Amino acid sequence: MFDALSSKLEKVFKNLRGYGKLSEKNIDDALKEVRLSLLEADVNYVIVKEFIESVKKKSIGEKVMDSLTPSQHIIKIIHDELVSLLGDHEPLNIKTKPPVIIMLAGLQGSGKTTTAGKLGLYLRGLKRNVYLVPADVYRPAAVLQLKKLGSSINLPVYDTPEKDGKITQMPDEILKSAIEIAEKHAYDTIVVDTAGRLEIDEPLMEELKLLKVKFSPNEILFVADSMLGQSAVAVARAFNDSLDITGVILTKVDGDSRGGAALSIKKTINKPIKFMGVGEKLSEFEPFYGERIADRILGMGDVLSLIEKTQNAVDERSAKALEESLAKKDFTIIDFAEQLKMVTKIGGIAQIAAMIPGFSKIKDKFNPELAEKEFKKINAVINSMTEKERKNPEILNGSRRKRISSGSGTTVNDVNLFINKFEEVKKMMKSLKKNKFGALKNINNIKNMFNQGGYKWQ
Amino acid sequence: MNIFDKFKNLTESLKKTKESLAQKIGSIFTGGGLPPDYMEKLEEALVLSDISFQTASDIINSVKKDIPGAGSITSGEFKGFLKREIKKMISKEFPPLNIDDKKGIILIVGVNGVGKTTTVAKLGNFYKNKGKKVIVGACDTFRAAAQEQLAIWGERTGIEVVSGKENQDPASVAHDAVQKLKEKDFDLLIIDTAGRLHNKKHLMEELAKIKRVIMKANSTPPDETFIIIDASLGQNSITQAAQFRELVDITGVIITKMDGSARGGIAIDVIHKLGLPVRFIGTGEKPENISDFSPEIFVEGLL
């Protein structure tokens, strides 16, 4: 998400930077472009209007016009406006007396059931004892879907009773008995999946209100598809009016939508966006930080999220051990393989690349999918080496290389290319021994390697 | 069945749209005549209905030509121009649906959560009521319980469903379903597929494979390939359709969730920008909540 928007805006700013001093007309022209990009991104029409007016008012002041770098100034103004549209990060309100109840609500197809699984997995990562509760009694097999998701990640799921394919409890009965079970088993966090519903469907909205009144959930999260169009505003407002929601979860952020809905929703209902779903896997789920997303939209990258992801994925001890061994001795293929593993853990090259500042500028030249393919090839090559070869790459003579290529299903040329690349990285490592960021910089090395010579590798 | 029954669902579902778009247009005239900034107000009304900025500009430009240079114009006349221009824009000649008088195959594709499985059930029911013997292929073997979801629909509508196991190659389910269509006494096979974001290459390749397998098993491609578009989503739907089209030769569009507060302006972009026909409209959760699409009735309903 946001990619298309960011590359459009970058173009605007590039033009803006061409001017030493800005006239009112320069600013007007640039803002016209910004307006169009936001409208194309499905940001609500009315919100775009306010946004542009506000930026314009702040831009056409003496301060900006007289500053030495007026375009930087304007970009800063737009950045700050975006941040205020997207909002600060707010954690879940779960530090209260258990069981904590988190209820999900939203339109059909927004991704509530999948999100229930993702949120459950995320909460377990916070050492919560999670209990999933399927309370979608309408969509065929919705209950079964959550049961299957739960069992795939070993989370307990309330066994919503069924008879002849029909659910025999209503949502309030389901939640009531689920809470009893949770108390018995010391489950401290209950995630409730509810049926998708249209915000104008009064009987169904009443059902949610009833759950709210009876059980006062600690969190009522509105699950919203990031591809939503202009109606995002009306939908979010209606859900908030009837339920006074506590936050928003954006889904399908891994699509290529420009994410206008995200910009519209927070502004409309003034509730924080707390999480976003970024992939088909249940682990692909992240806390939402408005500031970082604003950086991404403006092509400034999202280094903070990258660092956090690295910290989560790379266990500190093994990273430290790697660093120490690098300090003492030569960089070997074993160390290299270790680095590759880290990249995979963080979510693969494509995900990392998207967070790197200025990436949208080079996107056409760097194909993450191709890189991902090479990645697999390199892994195959390394796996076909003997321990001795990995430790002492200099012994890799012609016949060894031939054996490795046939063992890994690659060509001798592929093996040669890998060894050359490895030597390059080794050189880089030597110059980087005293780096502070440890694993993160190592990962950048690998990315550079793909960037430079990537597609010669086919 | 008279024409009004046939399109009753469509007309009903557009009522909300009509009220709000008509209100917006009406509000342009609150000062009496046509104000100087009417174009901006019209643009707002159109864009808020999920019509793209570009298409909205096209509409405004053609309406502008209709407006007489001198003299006043009423809100009714203005609406008339608008209706005429939009109708012109979306009244393209499309060939009739290609599934009559033979064993036909319809392939259903789309991104996650747009309502593919529900639409398959409704479409099956629609053709069953027209006297066809329908069979459904449940090729979403990825999403947990998608198979069961379609099986339950099958029971409710009395339509046979060919299923696979979870994580089975969806193409093999498609193959089995085509065999059954050919060998047994069925007229129409509708194939449901897993939702996939159009920018995920491996998933799109999986879809291309499903299509290849159908072609091989049936010696012809699917007779119709419909992409499902969710009316509540925005301009990304157009990108979706364009991307799917590159891979599987989309022949038509079904727009779902037209009963919500989304205004369905995306239908105009589908026809105007992509040149694809809108074939059906989904208007609710019951099996019978599906309707033929008609440009005339759509425009009447919209304004």
pLDDT tens, position by position, B164-217: 988 899 999 999 999 999 999 999 999 999 999 998 989 999 999 999 999 999
Choose, out of B233, B256, B266, the residue to mutate when testing the contact with A (most A CBs < 10 Å).
Answer: B233
Across the interface, whether the CB atoms of A231 and B114 are under 8 A apart is answered: no
Choose, out of A280, A349, A351, the residue to mutate when testing the contact with B (most B CBs < 10 Å).
Answer: A280
Confirm if A257 and B234 have CB atoms less than 8 A apart. Answer: yes
Tell me, what's the pLDDT at A326?
62
Same domain? For A120 and A57 the reply is no
**How many interface pairs between A and B have CB atoms less than 8 angstroms apart?**
144
Chain A CA closest to residue B258: A198
Tell me, what's the pLDDT at A392?
85
CB atoms under 10 Å from CB of A264, counted, come to 29
Q: How many helices (H) and strands (E) does chain A have?
A: 22, 9
B290, β-bridge pairs: B282
- Chain A CB within 8 Å of residue B232 CB: yes
Same domain? For A47 and A191 the reply is no
State how far residue B56 is from chain A, nearest Cα, in angstroms.
Answer: 11
Tell me, what's the pLDDT at A23?
80
Instruction: State the total domains in chain A.
Output: 3
The verdict on residue A335 lying in a domain is yes
In terms of Cβ atoms closer than 10 Å to its own Cβ (0-12, 13-18, 19+), residue A203 is exposed
Tell me, what's the pLDDT at A424?
79
Tell me, what's the pLDDT at A244?
97
List, for residues B37-55, the tens digit of each pLDDT value: 888 999 999 999 999 999 9
Across the interface, whether the CB atoms of B257 and A107 are under 8 A apart is answered: yes
Same domain? For A171 and A233 the reply is yes
Enumerate the residues of chain A whose CB falls inside 8 A of the CB of residue B42: none
Across the interface, whether the CB atoms of B232 and A36 are under 8 A apart is answered: no
State how far residue B49 is from chain A, nearest Cα, in angstroms.
Answer: 7
Name the domain boundary from A62, A86, A110: A86
Same domain? For A331 and A443 the reply is yes
Across the interface, whether the CB atoms of B233 and A198 are under 8 A apart is answered: no
Enumerate the residues of chain B whose CB falls inside 8 A of the CB of residue A235: 232, 260-261
Enumerate the residues of chain B whose CB falls inside 8 A of the CB of residue A234: 261
Tell me, what's the pLDDT at A315?
61
The verdict on residue A213 lying in a domain is yes
Same domain? For A382 and A275 the reply is no
Q: Which of A32, A91, A41, A21 is nearest to A297 (CA)?
A: A41
The verdict on residue A381 lying in a domain is yes
Tell me, what's the pLDDT at A172?
97
Name the domain boundary from A86, A111, A134: A86
Q: Beta-strand (E) ranges in chain B?
A: 104-109, 134-139, 160-162, 188-193, 224-230, 252-256, 278-282, 290-292
Tell me, what's the pLDDT at A355?
64
CATH number at residue A235: 3.40.50.300
Domain residues for the domain of A34 are 3-86
CB-CB: which of B50, B197, B230 is closest to A255? B197
State how far residue A255 is from chain B, nearest Cα, in angstroms.
Answer: 6
List, for residues B84-143, the tens digit of each pLDDT value: 999 999 999 999 998 877 899 999 999 999 999 999 999 999 999 999 999 999 999 999
Same domain? For A57 and A119 the reply is no
Tell me, what's the pLDDT at A432?
55
Across the interface, whether the CB atoms of B233 and A142 are under 8 A apart is answered: no
CATH number at residue A406: 1.10.260.30
The verdict on residue A93 lying in a domain is no
What does the mean pLDDT of chain B come to? 90
Of the pLDDT bands very low, low, confident and very high (cuts 50, 70, 90), residue B1 is very low
Tell me, what's the pLDDT at A379?
84
A452/B20: higher pLDDT: B20
Tell me, what's the pLDDT at B193?
97
pLDDT of B71 > 80? The answer is no
Chain A CA closest to residue B147: A141
Confirm if A199 and B260 have CB atoms less than 8 A apart. Answer: yes
In B132-151, the residues whose Cβ lies within 8 Å of chain A are: 142-146, 148-149, 151
The verdict on residue A295 lying in a domain is no
Query: What CA–CA distance (Å, rounded) separates A138 from B286?
Result: 11
Please give the ipTM for the structure prediction: 0.89
Same domain? For A50 and A152 the reply is no
The verdict on residue A299 lying in a domain is no
pLDDT of B268 > 50? The answer is yes
Same domain? For A201 and A143 the reply is yes
Query: What CA–CA distance (Å, rounded) separates B221 from B229?
Result: 22
pLDDT of B254 > 90? The answer is yes
Q: What is the separation, in whole angstroms, between the first and last Cα of chain B? A: 25
Same domain? For A145 and A273 the reply is yes
Enumerate the residues of chain A whose CB falls inside 8 A of the CB of residue B146: 141, 145
- Chain A CB within 8 Å of residue B153 CB: yes
Q: Pick out chain A residues at pLDDT < 50.
A: 434-441, 446-447, 449-458
Same domain? For A236 and A166 the reply is yes
